[in-house]
Amino acid sequence: MMLAGMTWDHARAYDCLVAASERFAAERGTAISWKKRSLQAFADEPIEQIARAYDLVILDHPHVGQISASGCLLELPDFPDPAATSLGGSVESYIWNSKTWSYPIDAACQMAVVRADLGGAFPAHWEDVLEDAGRFSLVTPLLPVDAFDLMLSMLASRGEADLPVSPQAFCSEANGLFNLKVLKALFRMGPSEATDWNPIRVLELLSTSNDFAGSPALFGYINYARPGFRPHQLTYHNLPGFRGHGMPRGILGGAGIGVSAFCAHPEEAIAFAQWVTSEPIQSSVYIENEGQPAHLGTWNRLRHTPRYAGFLDGAYDTITHAWTRPRDDWFLHFVDDICEIFPAFFLKDRAEEDMLADINALYRKHIGQEAQP
Torsions phi, psi for 105 (to 5 deg): -110, -20
| Domain identity same for 7 and 85 | yes
32 backbone dihedrals φ, ψ, rounded to 5°: -135, 125
DSSP sequence for 195-250? GG--HHHHHHHHHH-SS-SEEEEEE--GGGGSTTSSSS--EEEPPPB-TT--S--P
Residues 140 and 208 in one domain: yes
Distant-in-sequence, close-in-space partners of 342: CB < 8 Å, separation ≥ 6: 142, 144, 147, 148, 195
The whole-model pTM stands at 0.92
Q: How many domains does the chain have?
A: 2
Residues 151 and 278 in one domain: no
Q: Tell whether 318 is covered by a domain.
A: no
Whether residues 117 and 245 share a domain: the answer is: yes
- Could you report the per-residue pLDDT of 5-50, keeping only the tens digit for each? 999 999 999 999 999 999 999 999 999 999 999 878 777 788 999 9
Residue 216 shares a structural domain with residue 179:
yes
Residues 130, 37 share a domain? no
| DSSP label at residue 238 | P
Nearest CA among 21, 35, 22 for reference residue 105: 21
User: Residue 38 is part of which domain span?
Assistant: 2-108+253-312
322 found inside a domain:
no
- Half-sphere exposure (Cβ direction) of 357: Cα atoms closer than 13 Å: 5
* CATH code: domain of residue 281: 3.40.190.10
Query: Are 84 and 165 in a shared domain?
Result: no
Q: Is residue 319 part of a domain?
A: no
Q: What is the pLDDT of residues 191-248, one digit of tens each?
A: 999 999 999 999 999 999 999 999 999 999 999 999 999 999 999 999 999 999 999 9
- Residue 368 counted as domain residue: yes
What is the per-residue pLDDT across 108-164, written as a single tens digit (0 to 9) for each? 999 999 999 998 889 999 999 999 988 999 999 999 999 999 999 999 999 999 999
364 and 215, same structural domain? yes
Same domain membership, residue 133 and residue 43: no
Whether 122 and 65 map to the same domain: the answer is no
